[in-house]
Every structure is written in structure tokens, then in C-alpha cells.
Chain A
Amino acid sequence: MSILLNKDTRVLVQGITGRIGRVQTQWMLDYGTNIVAGVTPGKGGEEVEGIPVFNTAKEAVNETGSEAVVFFVPAAAIKSAVIENIDAGMKLLVVVTENVPIHDAMEIREYARGRDTTIIGPTTPGIITVGEAKMGIMPANMFTPGRIGIISRSGTLSYETSINLSTAGYGQSTVIGMGADPVVFTSMPDILKLFERDPDTDLIVIVGEVGGIQEEKAADYIDRWVTKPVVAYIAGLNAPQEKKMGHAGAIIRGDGKGTPQSKIAALNEVGVDIARYPAQIVDLVSEHLIPN
């Protein structure tokens, strides 16, 4: 059943009546996602693609039993929307929204701590359990069902990695975009833990990038707990210092932290196979698995 999301998960779309919310709802439904409700304050009683719209998350949960939520909500409204959904009892929250203020992200993360909930994002393409359901904006034709779990800090590189693997005959179990901000809600070790325990995943691919210490922490975790083979690629070998490479989290600070070299060294040290370029991920995977 892969991790976090499957075809039975009852999904709510927050911001379903917006332009992006509508289009993405259609595509998620086309993929087979079990969307049971939408929420837009003030639009309760409407329908989008046959899905009932409610004013609040609480109402939607009471009426439809939704347990997971994907947000297409402007950054300025995300903090209150996420907290409302945590309070409504959501188990999985996917924050696609970009440009969420870091202070709001810190507040959300603290609010979620100690509660039985997993939040992905912000600035994530979302999560897809291949062949079953997707919560987010990833294009469905990149993926084929299989036994590789992918964790990516970048949305577009999660697509690139998946289509490269798919084309070579290697399918995916679940693909997760962690989110590209400096402060994310779920860390790389948290997701590694889920893949390590997942009986449907045989190999894990990490797609990292410059900035932060997620990959270094992942290396520590792998060293202690991960028995499955891990392949990694780190984007930004040529990134200049002190320059933000598009993502708010992709910046090599003056203190020398967050360089691709330090990440590659840390992962290499614990036996992770390092791809120098994205397509090389396939070559390294082929040393561990046979194609579908």
C-alpha cells in the first residue's frame, strides 16, 4: 500500500473553487484519487466536478470523513487554514502553496508537533502513490507503478527522476516532494523511516539540492536505520555561494554549510550511491534492481 496515501484515502481539497484548485481537482480525480470534499469559506453548498464544497474543514470532516487534505490556498491564508485542518483531525496535509512566510511555517510546525499528523511542504508538488492516488500538482504521465520510493526537495526533479526511471522500466511506489523551503514540515529522515518500513518499497532514491542540512541528517539516519539500498543525486554542483537558486532553501551560506560537496560526502560515507547527473540515477538503480 506504499506510504501515507493510497486509493482509499479520503481526500479534501482546500481552495477547491479557485482557478488552480479546480484544474488540479479534475486531474487528481482522473488519476483515481478518492476526493470526497472541497472547502472554500463562503462557498459551502456548491459543487466542483461533482464534489461537495463546504465552508469549513470541520464540516467537511463530519459530513464526508475526509482524513487528508491538499491546499491550493494563498500564502497569506495558509497558517490559519493548516491549523484549522489539524484541529479538524486531518492525518495528512499537503501544502502545495509557495512563498509561505518562514515564521508562519515555524508556527505551523510547532503546532503540529506531538499531534498525530504528517504535513508535507510548503512548496511541494505533493505526494503520489503510483497507480493509486495523488495529492498535488505532479503530471501523472511521469510515473509507472513499481518498487522505488523517491524523496525529492525539488518538484521538477521528482518528475525528471520518475520519468527517467519509468522509461528504463523501473516503476515507483510512492514519490514525495518534501518542499523546497528552508523550513519544511517533514524532514528527509522522517520520510526515509516510512520507506524503510514500507513492504512495497525495495530501493529509495533521494533527490537533494544545495542548501540546508536535510541530506546530511538523512545520511546519519541511513547509517543507523536503513537497510534498503539508497541512490542519491544532489543538484547544484555549479551553484555560486550566497545566491538563492530559485528555491528559498537552495542557498549556500557563507559559513560553508549546505554545499553539494558536504552532502555528497556525507551520503557517500554511509554507502549511498551518488549519481553525478540525474540520468545516472537509472544506472545506479540498475545495479540493485531488475526492471519491471
Chain B
Amino acid sequence: MKLYEYEGVELFKQGGIPVPDFAIATTAEEAREKAKAIGVPLIIKAQVLTGGRYLAGGVKTVSALDKVEETARRILSSKIRGFPVNKVLLAANVDVFREYYCSITIDDYRGTPLVIFSAEGGVDINQIAQEKEEAVVQRAVPISRGLTISDARRMCRQVGLRGKDLDTIPGILVNLYQVFRNNDAILAEINPLVRTKKGEYVALDSKVEMDDSGLYRHTDLGLDQLERITNPLEKAGREIGVSYLELDGDIAIIASGAGLGMASMDIINKRLSAANFLETGGAITEELLYKVMGLVFKKEGIRGLFINVYGGINPIHEGAKGIVRYIKDHNITIPVVAKALGNHQEETWEIFKANGVHVTSGVSTEEGVEMLVELLGAKR
């Protein structure tokens, strides 16, 4: 789950990382009031879970208090790459002397935290790594030991930091590592970390992403996961506990696993066009699949439905009952094809067939999709 900049800044502050004076506002009036305590010049930043805020006009510097309300109103009423702006961050302006980049992420393949530091910051790290490779240093850290201050100092020295930089920045890196560890983060990034003309160090931005599977340990943060999902169907999927992604086509997919869902999508898109990606995970019940049917038919213009399920951990015969009950309750007349294999497969086929669902006799997803193609052709 991605955090808003202000939520990340709050975690940084609690973790001992220096941040500018800041406040958060949801209305222009609130921004005007809160700006007084920060003073001018200040920066007003749109809080959206996407990049490209500068180019979209979502970040503005204001040098007079009587301009705050107007600027905040303009940003709050705008959209950034399609995301509505519900909050703005007000932050004290600083005079930048030098910019750096710090991040802690995960080296998935090696299964360890990965610390990345760059003596140049402010732009995309991939770009820095390409253009100025010698400015970037990275280190995998054994998770039981963590990042020590001497590790961090060594990294900083490696890219040429000296003097006050070398006295201060390693401590910030260690604190960032702690923020990463303490919050089940998969990314904790400061870009840029700046040294001001006054010689102070400040994190001017935050990018924090938490592991969805670790969120249960952080309920105290009061973060609303659903509020972050802008697509209403994807949000509805999350609410019933399945993975749903809306796509452009008109053939709905219900799959009992992620790999199977992706393969179904790939195969359908050869001949037809998938309306969604949906995978139930391993907790199928009659009730869940009734709700899942409601979800896929919320999208307008569905022309066909392909069901692809395996009875491994899932009781697919129970799921079939939910599907056919929905078909009856809502008088679904479009072609529905099911491929159902594994434990309880015969029972599942009977339930489907008795209720007008076409069951492929083949064992491959391709054969099931072929059946749907033929049914759609016959219908046209």
C-alpha cells in the first residue's frame, strides 16, 4: 500500500528524520489558517498517489500569505493524472544548497533489505544511475543485523561525502532503515534529501510503500486502505477479498488463482477482449462467488463470462452453487463457460450443467475459451 507524502513525512518525523515544518489541509480556508504558523515562502503540494505532480501543476511555491488560499483552492480542485486532489501539504520553503537520494527497498531475489544512496538527488534514481553511476552506492543488508552507522558511513564515503555531510547523512540513513523495518515497508525513499544554504539537512519528499501482508501489525497508524483505490470496481473487489482489475474488453473472467487468471486473460485476448482480471484466492465459498458474480456484472456491457477454477484448496462445488444462484436471481442470459478441474470436479460440473452453464470437456484453458468463442459466434 502506497502512503501519501504527508503520511510518509509523519513517519519520518517520528523516526527522527529532519523534515520541514508542515501542515495538512483539506480545504483552501484550512490551508490559509495553517499557513500562518509556517510562514512564507511556503510550498503547497497536492497529495496524490502518483508521480508527475510538478509537471501537472500540483506543486506551487507561495511567497505571500494572502495568496495561499487561492493557490490551495486551485490545486484542490485539480486532477493529477486522473487522480482527484483531496488534500494539500503545506511545507516551509528551504533554500537548497545540495540534493541527495536515500532509499531502503527490498532485493526480492536475494531476500534482503537493499540500501541505496546517491550523492546526487532530486531526479529519478534510475536516471542518476545511468548518467552518473559513480554517484550511486547500494548495499544489501542482513536483516538480523540491520544497517549500522558504520555501514552507512562507509557507503557515504564511497561516493565522496566529507565533513558535515559525513557527520549527518549516515544517521539519517540509519533512521530511514528503522522506519522501513518498523513499518513493514517495501520502500522508504527520500528524494531529495537536501542540505540547505544554512547547513541544515531536511527530507523534502517522502515515498513510502507498506507491505499489504504486514498492515495488520500497523492498525495504530489508522491508514485507510480502501480510500486509496480510485476504481470503484477494484475497491468493491478489495471489500469482498478478491483481486479485481478492470480492463477494456467485454469478456468477464473469474479464476481461482492469479497465474490462471493471467493465462486466461492472455488466451482470451487472442480472440476476444477481457473485461477484467479477477482471482478469488484460496477462500472460495458459495457466498463469495455469489458476490464475485455481482462484482463482474457491475461492469456494463459484459458479453460473455469465462470461469476457470481448480479444486485444490478451494471447494469449487460450493463456489459453483453461488455462481448458478446468481445466474438465476439475475436472469443472466449471456454465454457462460466453465472449466473446473480438481477435487469435486464431477459434482461441480453437474451443478453448472443443470443450470445452463456450459462446461468444457477439455482440460486446457484454450479449449474452454474456444467454446466461448463458438457460443458468442452462434449468438451473434
B366 to chain A, nearest CB (A): 4
Q: Within 8 Å of chain A (Cβ to Cβ): is B184?
A: yes
Whether the Cβ atoms of A102 and B259 lie closer than 8 Å is no
The residues of A that contact B186 with a CB separation of less than 8 Å are 102, 182
Query: Which of A24, A213, A247 contacts B259, CB < 8 Å?
Result: A247
Whether the Cβ atoms of A277 and B263 lie closer than 8 Å is yes
Q: Within 8 Å of chain B (Cβ to Cβ): is A137?
A: yes
A136 to chain B, nearest CB (A): 8
* B 337-380 binary contact with A (CB < 8 Å = 1; else 0): 00001110100000000000000000111110000000000000
The total of chain A residues at the interface (CB under 8 A) is 69
Q: How far is the CA of A185 from the CA of B111 in the complex (A)?
A: 8
Chain B's closest residue to A125 (CB) is B312
Residues of chain A in range 88-133 having any CB-CB distance to chain B below 8 Å: 96, 98-107, 109-111, 125
Q: Within 8 Å of chain A (Cβ to Cβ): is B211?
A: yes
Q: How far is the CA of A220 from the CA of B243 in the complex (A)?
A: 33
Residues of chain B in range 140-173 having any CB-CB distance to chain A below 8 Å: 142-144
Chain B residues touching A, range: 35 or more
* B 253-280 binary contact with A (CB < 8 Å = 1; else 0): 0011111111101110110001001010
Whether the Cβ atoms of B109 and A217 lie closer than 8 Å is yes
Whether the Cβ atoms of B258 and A101 lie closer than 8 Å is no
Q: How far is the CA of A105 from the CA of B310 in the complex (A)?
A: 27
Query: Which of B142, B262, B313, B342 contacts A245, CB < 8 Å?
Result: B262
Interface residues of B (CB under 8 A from A): 106, 108-109, 111-113, 126, 142-144, 181, 184, 186, 211-214, 216-217, 243, 245, 247, 255-263, 265-267, 269-270, 274, 277, 279, 281-282, 310-313, 341-343, 345, 363-367
A-B contact pairs, 24 of them (CB 8 A): A98-B282, A102-B106, A102-B186, A103-B143, A106-B143, A111-B144, A137-B312, A153-B259, A154-B258, A155-B257, A157-B260, A182-B108, A184-B111, A214-B109, A236-B266, A238-B266, A245-B245, A245-B261, A246-B257, A248-B213, A250-B259, A277-B270, A278-B263, A278-B267
Pick the 8 closest A-B CB pairs, nearest first.
A154-B259, A246-B258, A156-B257, A139-B342, A156-B260, A157-B259, A101-B214, A246-B279
